[in-house]
Amino acid sequence: MISLQPVTYKNFDDVINLKAPEALVAPNILSLADAYCSLKETLESGELEYAETPYAILHDKEVVGFLMFTYEDGEDINAGSDIFWLSRFMIDDKHQGKGYGKAALALFIDLVRSKPHGKAVKHIYTSIVPTSPVASKFYESMGFVKTGGMLEDEELARFEL
């Protein structure tokens, strides 16, 4: 069974040792460093809800993937409202093709609907590397729609809640 668990000292090594099949996402150690810096900045500003939130994806008790998201105002992508931004999502290359990604993304969508950080939003956004038809097909199969917008060199996709 797939579950999401906050990244802690207990699963940290497992998360940083995950490998993506392609260079489509930043290394998890970099993502966790981003989360630490984000937390530090938000603690200093008093706006904790804006911190990056990292989760390990588990199949039973084994860490098989990683995701990270944040609540934000969506101004940098002209979203028009507050959003949840799925900044990282990956399943280890040894666990591709087993349905773990779809199950984990469905759990993430349920998590967002539960109003983490006490915030309700209408959209989840993510970005997709345009040279990855597999990633595009995956997100589209889960209900994400490309907006036509770009963030740096990646295509924006939106999920309506």
Burial label, 78 (beta-carbon count in 10 A; 0-12, 13-18, 19+) = exposed
Quickly tell me which residue has 């940290």 as its tokens: 12
Q: Of 39-43, 45-49, 118-122, 126-130, where does the model show the most confidence?
A: 126-130
Residues 139, 132: Cα–Cα separation, whole Å: 11
Cα 123 versus chain centre, distance: 13
Confidence of residue 110 (pLDDT cuts 50, 70, 90): very high
Enumerate domains of the chain plus CATH numbers.
2-160 (3.40.630.30)
Q: Tell which residue, 83, 46, 92, 88, has the closest CA to residue 69.
A: 88
Residue 79 tokens, joined:
């979203």
Residue 121 tokens, joined:
């939003």
**Are the CB atoms for 56 and 4 separated by under 8 Å?**
yes
Confidence of residue 22 (pLDDT cuts 50, 70, 90): low
Give the pLDDT of residue 119: 80
Give the pLDDT of residue 2: 98
pLDDT at 108 over 90: yes
What is the rounded average pLDDT of the residues 39-52? 79
Confidence of residue 53 (pLDDT cuts 50, 70, 90): very high
Backbone Cα Rg of the chain = 15
Give the pLDDT of residue 49: 67
This prediction's pTM: 0.92
What is the rounded average pLDDT of the residues 112-129? 90
User: Exposure pattern of 53-71 as b/e (b: 16+ CB <10 Å)?
Assistant: bbbbbbbeeebbbbbbbbb
* Helix ranges restricted to H, the chain: 9-16, 28-45, 100-113, 133-141
Specify the amino acid at residue 21. Answer: P
